Chain A
Amino acid sequence: DVVMTQSPLSLPVTLGQPASISCRSSQSLVYSDGNTYLNWFQQRPGQSPRRLIYKLSNRDSGVPDRFSGSGSGTDFTLKISRVEAEDVGVYYCMQGTHWPPAFGQGTKVEIK
């Protein structure tokens, strides 16, 4: 099975400053159709997960453009250009290229 490894697991950030979360997969996530099925989810305290990014770098409708996804092969990054108070929560990467689908451990973003 593919293992997804996130770092850091805890990320204290200053409001208005950038933040970056890394996600690495144990196998390449490029599927036979050429797509990379790598998603990013945000889970605010007490809420259900919400998808932010799909297929590596596509932002979901309603997601602020301060969120961006990038990477290739086995190394991926979620960037927040300027952290706002509403961004506090846990962020998960998730691969859908290989069965079974797998989530990273989660990265907890908090305000300093």
Chain B
Amino acid sequence: EVQLVGSGGGLVNPGGSLRLSCAASGFTFSSYTMNWVRQAPGKGLEWVSSISGSSDYIYYADSVKGRFTISRDNAKNSLYLQMNSLRAEDTAAFYCAREAPGNRYGMDVWGQGTTVTVSS
């Protein structure tokens, strides 16, 4: 079964850091571009970042550029999001999502979401 399982969320103070993880199974992880998408409480979806299969291409939304770092370990079938200098407006559920090949950001498999709360 194709599956993505996110983890690492929690409560953090403004200005703090957190590292999210996403464990993939059931497919050849290294062949897929992976994305992070977030959803603030009661709000819509916002694309955050993407990384190609070999980590050659990495992109960030302007709202997180310079503060967040996406990475992956294909040997461990894992995706990561290092989040620094966190702000209250970063409070959200973070989803990892697989991008179908040849489908420009067409995310066909999503994880269950891990919640990040930035508050003092």
Q: Do A and B bind each other?
A: yes
| Chain A residues within 8 Å of B, Cβ to Cβ | 31, 37, 39, 41, 43, 48-51, 54-55, 60, 90, 92, 94-97, 99-106
Contacts of A101 in B (CB 8 A): 47, 104-105
Contact residue range for chain B?
Answer: 20 to 34
| Chain B residues within 8 Å of A, Cβ to Cβ | 37, 44-47, 59, 61-62, 95, 97, 100, 103-108, 110-113
Known: A48-B95, A48-B112, A48-B113. A39 touches B106 (CB 8 A): yes
Determine whether the beta carbon of B47 is less than 8 Å from that of A49: no
In the complex formed, the residue of A with least CB distance to B110 is A48
Please give 9 more A-B residue pairs, beta carbons under 8 A apart, in addition to A54-B100, A105-B44: A31-B104, A39-B107, A48-B110, A48-B112, A96-B105, A99-B59, A101-B47, A103-B47, A104-B44
User: Chain B's nearest CB lies how many Å from the CB of A46?
Assistant: 10
In the complex formed, the residue of B with least CB distance to A35 is B104
Determine whether the beta carbon of B111 is less than 8 Å from that of A48: yes
User: Chain B's nearest CB lies how many Å from the CB of A44?
Assistant: 12
User: Chain A's nearest CB lies how many Å from the CB of B15?
Assistant: 26
Contacts of B61 in A (CB 8 A): 100
Contacts of B45 in A (CB 8 A): 41, 43, 49, 92, 94, 103, 106
Known: A92-B45, A100-B47, A100-B61. A50 touches B110 (CB 8 A): yes
What 5 A-B pairs come out closest when comparing CB atoms? A96-B105, A96-B104, A101-B105, A48-B110, A37-B104
